[in-house]
């Protein structure tokens, strides 16, 4: 028995231009959906149906197979079912017809992979024909009527306690797992025996407006993945607020000095010993940056006003894919760099508008163990092994 995921993602969003590649928690929405799909063991492949070259590029970077969607299936009037039927035809021609299809929506940034796996298993076992994600709600629903508002799921003349009310379930839109043959026959996502896979209400965010995108970005740090191990090929670091606690001491002669952490120095030393390419990239012009880099044995570029082009040039010079690089920063001039890499990381003191761009927020403060924490996570990753 086999199951695949299909993620329709057209490029013509008007409410939020570029929505499907907008970043939440440092990862493009389409990438988050692909990763959620591939984290479910029953799903053997993730397909992205799109008409947009940038969405296709990002989808491939995150491990998806891209299906080119015809223009007539990417219009405002085309339905998700239209895109799914086309995609299934392409999949059948290339790899055979899967037993089940999981329809995921990239506009749901917090797809619950264990719940998706449970849903897929139910369909593959034959327990249900369709299983969709929903959360339990006891909300009192109302509708407008000629005689005034009236209750939909309750008698508004009586107010029972929560524990005495029947729960209802609200569809999240995040995923629908369907028996493929049944979907091809009915051409609609609900048919036969329909089951509910319950998910936390916190995972039910759906992005259709700029305000919802901002809300998802604010929520992401509380829901990010376990970063016990980070799979990257290189590390780029800001200096002030990362290597230091963002404070500076100035003596009567105007000489500046900063405070750094020996623990961070040990972490950097372990990365250097493992062979991890590293760069300190800083706007700060004070020679203390170069002095610290020499002490750590790390390449440095400081006095850099345009950090993103410098980061891109460094990656090109070293043959590195930015998607395989971690960048750690703390302030607004780090945002462009954070958006360039696959692992954008911030220290806990980073400004709120900067944390919105991070895939990982460290727990140790800048200048007081943040880099040691990050180094240990990198050394636990599959690319590097910690030295004895």
Residues 171 and 259 in one domain: no
The CATH number of residue 270's host domain is: 3.40.50.1000
pLDDT, tens digit, 9 for 90 and up, residues 28-55 = 999 999 999 999 999 999 999 999 999 9
Where a domain ends, among 184, 199, 221?
A: 221
Joined together, the tokens standing for residue 212 give 């919802």
- The C-alpha atoms of residue 151 and residue 189 are separated, in whole angstroms, by 29
Closest CA to 238 of 205, 278, 281: 281
Joined together, the tokens standing for residue 260 give 């750094």
> Hunting for tokens 């850099």 — which residue is that?
304
pLDDT, tens digit, 9 for 90 and up, residues 272-293 = 999 999 999 999 888 899 999 9
Residues 214 and 268 in one domain: no
pLDDT, residue 311, reads 97
Q: How many CB atoms lie within 10 A of CB 23?
A: 21
Domain count, the chain: 2
The CATH number of residue 150's host domain is: 3.90.550.10
Closest CA to 202 of 188, 217, 222: 222
Whether residue 350 has pLDDT greater than 80: yes
- Residue 313 has φ and ψ, to the nearest 5°, of -65, -40
Is residue 191, in this structure, part of any structural domain at all?
Answer: yes
Structural domain including 374 reads: 234-380
Strand partners, 7: 48
Average pLDDT, the chain: 92
Q: What percent of the chain has pLDDT over 90?
A: 76
- Residue 351 has φ and ψ, to the nearest 5°, of -60, 150
Cα of first residue to Cα of last residue in the chain, in angstroms, is 44
């Amino acid at each position: 028995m086999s199951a695949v995921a299909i993620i329709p993602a057209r490029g013509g969003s008007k409410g939020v231009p570029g929505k499907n590649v907008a970043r939440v928690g440092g990862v493009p929405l389409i990438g988050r959906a692909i990763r959620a799909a591939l984290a479910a063991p029953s799903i053997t492949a993730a397909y992205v149906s799109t008409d947009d070259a940038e969405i296709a590029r990002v989808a491939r970077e995150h491990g998806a197979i891209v299906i080119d969607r015809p223009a007539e299936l990417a219009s405002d009037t085309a339905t998700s079912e239209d895109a799914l039927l086309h995609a299934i035809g392409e999949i059948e021609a290339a790899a055979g017809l899967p037993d089940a299809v999981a329809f995921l929506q990239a506009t749901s940034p917090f797809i619950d992979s264990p719940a998706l796996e449970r849903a897929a298993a139910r369909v593959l076992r034959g327990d249900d024909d369709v299983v969709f994600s929903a959360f339990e709600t006891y909300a009192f629903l109302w509708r407008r009527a000629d005689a005034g508002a009236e209750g939909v799921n309750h008698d508004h003349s009586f107010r029972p306690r929560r524990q005495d009310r029947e729960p209802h379930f609200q569809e999240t839109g995040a995923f629908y797992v369907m028996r493929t043959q049944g979907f091809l026959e009915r051409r609609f996502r609900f048919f036969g025996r329909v089951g509910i896979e319950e998910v936390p209400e916190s995972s039910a965010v759906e992005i259709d407006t700029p305000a919802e995108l901002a809300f998802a970005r604010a929520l992401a740090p509380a829901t990010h993945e376990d970063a016990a191990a980070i799979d990257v090929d290189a590390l780029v670091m800001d200096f002030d607020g990362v290597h230091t606690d963002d404070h500076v001491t100035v003596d009567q002669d105007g000489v500046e000095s900063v405070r750094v952490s020996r623990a961070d120095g040990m972490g950097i030393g372990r990365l250097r010993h493992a062979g991890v390419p590293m760069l300190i990239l800083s706007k700060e012009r004070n020679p203390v940056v170069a002095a610290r880099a020499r002490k750590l044995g790390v390449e440095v570029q400081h006095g850099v006003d345009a950090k993103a082009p410098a980061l891109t040039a460094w990656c090109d010079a070293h043959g590195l894919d930015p998607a395989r690089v971690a960048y750690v920063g703390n302030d607004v001039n780090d945002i462009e760099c954070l958006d360039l890499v696959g692992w954008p990381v911030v220290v806990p003191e980073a400004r709120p508008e900067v944390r919105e761009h991070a895939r990982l927020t460290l727990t140790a403060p800048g200048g007081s163990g943040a880099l040691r924490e990050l180094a240990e996570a990198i050394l636990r990753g599959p690319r590097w092994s910690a030295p004895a």
